[in-house]
A and B are shown apart, each in its own frame.
Chain A
Amino acid sequence: IQLTQSPSLLSASVGDRVTLSCKGSQNINNYLAWYQQKLGEAPKLLIYNTNSLQTGIPSRFSGSGSGTDYTLTISSLQPEDVATYFCYQYNNGNTFGAGTKLELK
């Protein structure tokens, strides 16, 4: 399964509601996770099984979707959210999306 993330680069302001997209080439059956990676760090799990928030992750992060289309939403962007975000499917094999780089406007 191939994953297509959009946009590849997103500029937003503090307090903005931000939406990142991840589309699969086949049905992912909700086995979709989202990771945040800051420069020089390992990826950090934010969301698993489409909409389950990992322990310790702020509630401004949420996930949704079904079938082939999935979304990560940050309800109110904070400066510490500047990072690259990857989606990851584990329904059929294992695949990462190419990432969305989120920067402050």
Chain B
Amino acid sequence: QVTLKESGPGILQPSQTLSLTCSFSGFSLSTSGICVSWIRQPSGKGLEWLATICWEDSKGYNPSLKNRLTISKDTSNNQAFLKITSVDTVDTAIYYCAQGIGYWGQGVMVTVSS
């Protein structure tokens, strides 16, 4: 059974760095073909793909945010991470992690506010 759960700081101030963790079970990020992505959704708005990391450590980033994003993984502990630098209020959103396209976590709310 595949499960994913996101965790984050809840609230942070503008200009800080947002660090998110995706803890998962039911699969391994060392298995060929497996990738984990981060997607976000501002309240009442649409979905935005942010980044993907795959089993062989290839990475992809949303071009509009690439300079601010860093995705990484800890295969031994079944975790994936996303860092977003220099956050602003527009980064306020629910952040989801997903394995492939079919398995999503419940999401974590992140608020950027001074």
Contact = CB atoms under 8 A, between A and B. Distances in A.
A42 B49 contact: no
B1 to A, nearest CB: 13
Nearest to B104: A42
Given A48-B102, A54-B102, A94-B60, A42 B46 contact: no
B13 interface: no
A104 B74 CA distance: 45
Interface in B47-80: 47-49, 52, 60, 62-63
Nearest to A31: B101
B101 A33 contact: yes
A88 B48 contact: no
A90 B62 CA distance: 12
A94 B46 contact: no
A95 interface: yes
B101 A45 contact: yes
Interface size class of A (residues with CB under 8 A): 10 to 19
Interface in A12-39: 33, 35
B52 A98 contact: no
Contacts of B37: 94
Nearest to B63: A93
Contacts of B63: 93
Given A86-B47, A94-B52, A95-B49, A42 B96 contact: yes
19 contacts: A33-B101, A42-B96, A42-B104, A42-B106, A43-B47, A43-B96, A45-B101, A45-B102, A48-B102, A86-B47, A88-B47, A88-B49, A93-B49, A93-B60, A94-B52, A94-B60, A94-B62, A95-B49, A99-B47
Interface of A: 33, 35, 42-45, 48, 54, 86, 88, 90, 93-99
